[in-house]
Amino acid sequence: MTSSVKPFVIVDAGNTSVKVAHIKNSHIQSVHRFAHVSDALSTISDADVVCASVLNENFKQLFINSGGSFHQITHQSKLPFKSVYGSMETIGVDRLCNMAAAFKLFESQNCLVVDIGTCIKFDFLSENNLYLGGSIAPGIELRYKALHEHTSQLPMLDFKSATAIIGGDTNKSMHSGVINGIQHEIQGMILRYEKDFGDLKILITGGDASYFDFPQKSNIFANKNLTLEGIVEIYEFNAV
């Protein structure tokens, strides 16, 4: 999309970090990460701020007070694709942003987005540019937390690296179960989508995506800024 929308700033507050992206001529110029939303304020001056996250109202007012305007993307925003999702009022807006980016990249093609973060989300956009939905499963940290909190002796781990299939002690066994379990879960889900829908484009994104290996295939694309690109697409779609 070639847009006349003036430059703006995206603030994408996730569960573990806050991304601030500066946008000009529909393109991401820079991306910075911060531990807290308040830390991000120092990078924003007289800017139009676009957000797709649920932020505290005090922070929202701080952004407005910084001299710019504040725009919130929600499930009620106009979308560049069609949707038959049955509970739009509860959908994570990041999923819609991922679909908007997929639509821009692969319009009129079957496209599967795999977002690997706090949760592992699969979302499918059909060749008819129709968002059908997908699935949500716990990510790495949530699985470690479940093992620790729902057993009497298992420790709380935070390992995220690739590991052997056989764990030689309790920690390594947990590490293997979580990481290799997710790896094969994702691969199995992709195979199921390919069986059901045939040819499709696959986009891999999310903060934990780098901890997993995917086959070098011409239809698999890694894009760490996919959600940000989708925010750009939805914001500009609503602005013009």
Active site amino acids: 94
3-class DSSP state for residue 47? coil
Q: What's the distance, CA 137 to chain centroid?
A: 13
Look up residue 59 and give its DSSP letter: H
Write out the E strands in the chain.
8-13, 18-24, 27-34, 49-51, 70-72, 82-83, 111-116, 119-125, 130-138, 201-205, 220-222
Residue 102 CA to residue 125 CA, distance in Å, equals 8
Ramachandran angles phi, psi of 112, nearest 5°: -115, 125
Residue with tokens 């009022």: 89
Residue 180 CA to residue 186 CA, distance in Å, equals 10
